[in-house]
Amino acid sequence: MTVPGPVAVVSGPPGAGKSTVAALLAAAVPPAVHLPADAFWEFLVGGVSPYRSAAQRQNETVMKAVAAAATGYARGGYRVFLDAVVGPWFLGPFVTAARATGTELRWVVLRPDEQTVVARAGARGAGALTAPGPVRAMYDQFRDLGRYEGHALDTTGEPPAVTAERVRGHLARSASLLVPAADR
């Protein structure tokens, strides 16, 4: 029987460095999977922009699919590093999938300052969210995580390798744990 690997959700607003950091984390601990959630919206034909209020049902469906994919890879024995805009409002599908599969689930939020996020998002390529208004609105959603505040890391001014090392340390602590691995 294959022992499930852990799932680490690397989250934050657009431009926080999620994709870069998740890729670095996965590359450092093979066998691993870097799972970029943005790809799941690209699968939709005729979908609504995920940043619109009319996209709520669509976004919930996509998050369930992402959670199923992440735990599916984990059940195969891979360490999974998912990069996604997953705030407390979208943790439910991940917690449900992790509990159902006995998969360890951890969550970290990259939160550099607003100016950094807006500048990075604005410099991204075609197809990415670059408009400052929606980026700021999403940044505001991560500004105060309430009871989840201990999951956030201020990564302002850090190079990606330094952030990846800090995230690795955070993921090793109990403060990042949402669902423990099932007893084996």
| Residue 184 confidence (pLDDT) above 60 | no
Tell me if 108 sits within 8 A of 151, measured CB to CB: yes
Compute the mean pLDDT over every residue in the chain, rounded to the nearest whole number. 93
| Residue 161 confidence (pLDDT) above 60 | yes
**CA 77/CA 163 separation, integer angstroms:** 25
Position 23 scores a pLDDT of 98
Three-state DSSP class for residue 44: coil
**CA 149/CA 155 separation, integer angstroms:** 14
Between residues 116 and 41, the one the model is more confident about: 116
b/e burial code for range 127-154 (CB count within 10 A of at least 16 → b): eebbeeebbeebbeebeebeeeeebbbe
Express each pLDDT in 88-125 by its tens digit.
Answer: 999 999 999 999 999 999 999 999 999 999 999 989 87
Domain boundaries, the chain: 7-179
CB atoms within 10 A of CB 102: 17
Position 53 scores a pLDDT of 79
Determine the topology of domain 7-179 in CATH: Rossmann fold (3.40.50)
Position 183 scores a pLDDT of 58
Express each pLDDT in 68-88 by its tens digit.
Answer: 999 999 999 999 999 999 999
pTM of the entire structure? Answer: 0.94
What does residue 103 show for φ and ψ, rounded to 5 degrees? -95, 135
Token representation of residue 87: 């705030």
Torsion-angle region of 102 (φ positive above 0: left; ψ -120 to 50: alpha; else: beta) = left
